[in-house]
Each structure stands twice: as C-alpha cells, then as structure tokens.
Amino acid sequence: MDVTASQALHPAEASLPPVPARTPSRGVGDRIFALAAHSAGYFVLILLGSIIVLLFWGGLPAFRAFGPGFLASAAWNPVTERFGALVSVYGTIVSSVLALMMAVPLAFGVAFFLTELAPGWMRRPVGTAIELLAAVPSIIYGMWGFFVLAPAIGHTIKPFLSSTLGQVPGLAVFRAAPGDASIFTASVVLAIMIIPFIAATMRDVFLTVPVIFKESAFGLGCTSWEVMRSIVLPYTRASVVGGIMLGLGRALGETMAVTFVIGNTNRISPSLFAPGNTIASLVALEFPEAEGGSLQLSSLLALGFLLFVISFVVLAISRTLLVQRVRH
C-alpha cells in the first residue's frame, strides 16, 4: 500500500503533525551550570542577610541601652558613654542629597553632549576621561578637597553666598561659619565623585535608543532637546533612575573623601558651611579606638545598621515611584 492509499484510509492520522524526536535529557554540564547559577544567587542573599544580622546583633546593646532616643539624640561622648545617631544621620542625608542635586544636572549634560552634540572624534576621549574619573581612589579626592577645594570654597563661594542669599530671611543655611571644612564642601566633593558613575550610565543607556525613533522625531521638525525630552528620556527612564541611585549609594557610603573635608564635628548647625559628620566618617574615625564589647563599639555597629536601612529605604522609594510613574 502506497502513501496515498494509507492517507485515504486514515485521514485523521494523516492530518496530525509529525511527532518530534525525543529530546535528550540535560547533560552533566547543564546540571553543573544550573547548580552554579543557583548557588551564586543564593550566595548573594546569604551574604546580604549575614551583613544585616551582624550589624543588628552588634548594635543591639546600644538599641537596648538608649531605646528610640538613640535616633533622636545628638550626643556622642565616649567618656560618659552617651551616644546618639541624629548628627551623623543628618549629615549623611543632607550631604548626599545636596551632592545628588549638584551631580545629576551635570551628569545629564555630559551624557547629552556625548550622545547628541559632540563630534565623533571627541566622544571617545571625553568618554574615557569620564571613566577614568570613576577609577580615581576616594582618598585622592579627599586630599584634593582638603588642600584645594575647601580653601577655594571658604574664600570665594562661602563669602558670596553668605553676603547675598544668607541675608534673606529663611535662608540661614547659606550663612557663613568659621573654618573651611563644612557639609557643603563635602557635598561638592561627593558630587564630583558620583558624576562619572551617573554620566557613564546615562550615556550608555541613551545609546540604546533605536535610531529610527530619533530620526522620525527629527523628521517631524523636533530639536535635539525635544528629542531627548520626548523620546530618549521616556525610553530610558528606568535605567536613568538606576544610574542615579547608583550614584546616591556611592555618596551615602563614602568615607575617606568626606572625612577629609566635612570637619568631623558632632553637632547640627543650620548653616551648610558649618562642619558636621556622617555615619561613614564617624565609624572610620572611632572604630579603631572602640574597645571590644564596649557600648561605643555597639553604637558604631548600630550606625552601620542605620546606614544600611537608609540605603534600603531610599532604593525602595525610588523603585516605588518609578513603577507608579511607568504605570501612569
């Protein structure tokens, strides 16, 4: 019986698709790779959880000794063993937010220039220079800030802002304070440090926008800024926010550069030109002197736990706002 006759006798079977060949089971290499990938993912969770538990457990004696007042107290006296987190938390948040306000517009300008305005021969050298800035050690930024930037701000920017904006009622944050070390100086150093991270991220994600989208907008008569505002930024919003959060995370945890220029004073002043402190700089300065099992060491570990919580809250808020904006 030929094939035509068989199809005529069994039309239903003739209409069925061919049965695929049996897929062989995964080899040993695939199973090893899957195990390694799962292990890497679980290792990150275990490592993160271990750090959280270590910081919380180490800071538990301080939380028990001072209670909720630990967050609201500005005291930090190892002699009387009175410790509080208010000054360092205030300095960490203010310096990081101020640095972000300075860095984001400049980083966006750099990324916009490199992707839309710069000639081809200039893009690679400038891009390489931006990446090299990200590789400069933080202690170099701190030394440069201490010897160059702090005196420059103290003799030029501080007198100018104090004599102009500082005289306006309600703008006491710009009034002058003695000394060159200040929260404002630390914020400028942090802004310079995080610009390369944010600018490099923005540049890379701006280049991922399909060329046909931009060419269509240019064909409709849009300017370069209109293309960036209406096409590029909406297309890359999630990645841009991720780059900004990367820079904010670097600013929140920066230690040595801030220690050089912030003044390391445990008090809160209404002026940005007054010295202050951050969690990272305080821990770096006093951790070597803290005795094992002391309340001072526990307070420093509690500050580390609070820094982790602040970073987590900032990241969670940014993710939530981003998701809501995308949905709307």
Model pLDDT for residues 145-157, shown as the tens digit of each residue: 999 999 999 899 9
Q: Where are the beta strands (DSSP E) in the chain?
A: 76-77, 82-83
**Residue 28 lies inside a defined structural domain of this protein:** no
* pLDDT category of residue 219 using cuts at 50, 70 and 90: confident
Q: Phi and psi at residue 83, in whole multiples of 5°? A: -130, 145
Tell me the residue range of the domain where 203 lies.
47-327
CATH number for the domain that contains residue 268: 1.10.3720.10
* pLDDT category of residue 100 using cuts at 50, 70 and 90: very high
Cα–Cα distance measured from residue 19 to residue 132, given in angstroms and rounded to the nearest whole number: 58
**Residue 42 lies inside a defined structural domain of this protein:** no
Confidence at residue 2, expressed as pLDDT on a 0 to 100 scale: 47
**Residue 121 lies inside a defined structural domain of this protein:** yes
**158-215 pLDDT, tens per residue?**
888 888 888 888 888 888 888 888 999 999 999 999 999 899 889 988 988 888 988 8
Residue 151 in tokens: 């005196």
**Residue 17 lies inside a defined structural domain of this protein:** no
Q: Give me the number of domains the chain comprises.
A: 1
Residue written as tokens 């695929």?
20
Which of 9 and 259 is assigned the larger pLDDT?
A: 259
How many helices and strands (H and E) does the chain possess?
17, 2
**Residue 190 lies inside a defined structural domain of this protein:** yes
Confidence at residue 167, expressed as pLDDT on a 0 to 100 scale: 84
**Residue 13 lies inside a defined structural domain of this protein:** no
Confidence at residue 163, expressed as pLDDT on a 0 to 100 scale: 86
DSSP character for 21? P
- Exposed (0-12), middle (13-18) or buried (19+): which is 164, by Cβ within 10 Å? exposed
Does the pLDDT at position 327 exceed 80? Answer: no
**Residue 81 lies inside a defined structural domain of this protein:** yes
Confidence at residue 142, expressed as pLDDT on a 0 to 100 scale: 92
Confidence at residue 7, expressed as pLDDT on a 0 to 100 scale: 46
Cα–Cα distance measured from residue 30 to residue 22, given in angstroms and rounded to the nearest whole number: 18
**Residue 16 lies inside a defined structural domain of this protein:** no
CB 305, CB 299: distance < 8 Å: no
Nearest residue to 234 (alpha-carbon basis) of 199, 206, 198: 206
